Structure 1
Amino acid sequence: MKHCLIVDDSAVIRKVARRILEEMAFSIKEAENGEAALSICQSEMPDVVLLDWNMPVMDGYEFLTRLRRMPGGDKPKILFCTTENDIGHITRALQAGADEYIMKPFDKDIVAAKLQEVGLA
C-alpha cells in the first residue's frame, strides 16, 4: 500500500483529500502545517505528499525545500495543491522540487490524473 501525507491547515480539505486517496488505496497521514509534516517525514517518509502552499507555522514552500534536503527527501512525489494560480508560484514550486501542481478545488479525477502523471496511480 502506498502512503500519502496530506499537509493542509484546512481540516475540510484534509478530509476531502483523505476520502479521495483512501478510495485509491492509499494509507493516509495528516499534518496541519509544514513543521508537523517534517516531523512525520523524519519518522516515516511517504510515497506522495499533497501539499498546501499557504499555512501557518511553516508554509508549503519552506516544507518542500527542507524535505528535499533531508535523507530520503528526494523520494516522495510532491503535489502542490493550492489556490495560488500565479505562474510565478507554479514555477517557484516546480524549481524547488514539486512534481505536479493541483488547483483547489479539486476532485478525484484531477487527483487521479496527477498521480498517474507522477507514476503513482
Structure 2
Amino acid sequence: MICNMMSTLGFETTEASDGIEALQRLAEMETPDIVLVDWNMPEMDGLEFIKSVRRQAEHRDLPMMMVTTECEMDRMALAFVAGVNEYVMKPFTIEVIQSKLELLGIGVFQ
C-alpha cells in the first residue's frame, strides 16, 4: 500500500521485508530521497534500523519517516531520539504522506 502511494506521488520505490534486508538494499543503492520504515519488522525492528542508519556517516542526514501502528507518546519520542524526521500513525491517507513529504521538502513538491 505504501509503495503504491509513493508511486502515485511520483517516487520510485524499493521494498525490503525486514530491517536487515533494508540495510543491505540501502548499502547497494544511491542515497534515496527518503526512507519510510515500520516499527514492527522481523529480524531488526524499525527503531534499530534507524539507529543503524544514523551511525553511518553517509546517511546521518537521510530523511526517514516512521510509518507505524505504534501510537504511544513514549514510542514516538524514542523514534525521534533515534533519528526519524517524521512520524505517521496507521491508518493514514495519501494526503497525510504528501503533507509530511512537503514539510520535509522532499520529492515532486519542491
- TM-score of the aligned structures, taking structure 1 as reference length: 0.84
SS in 2 for 1:81: strand
* Residue aligned with 1:50, SS: strand
Aligned with residue 9 of structure 2, among 8, 17, 24: 24
Asked whether 1:47 is paired with 2:33, we answer yes
Match of 1:79 among 61, 65, 71: 65
Q: Which digits, 9 at most, give the CA deviation of each residue in 1:80-120, with x for residues without a partner?
A: 01111110010010011100000001111000011111111
**Structure 1 outlier segments of 4+, above 3 Å:** none
Alignment of 1:1-121 (within 5 A): 16-44=1-29, 45-120=31-106, 121=109
Going by fraction, where is strand more abundant, 1 or 2? 1
TM-score w.r.t. the length of structure 2 is 0.92
Displacement of 1:75 in angstroms is 2.9
The structure whose residues are more often helix, as a share, is: 2
CA contact (8 A) 1:47 1:75 kept: no
Structure 2's unaligned 5+ residue stretches are: none
Aligned CA RMSD, in angstroms, stands at: 1.0
Q: Structure 1 regions of 5+ residues with no counterpart? A: 1-15
The percent of aligned pairs where both chains have the same amino acid is 35
Cα distance in 2 between the residues matched to 1:58 and 1:36? 9
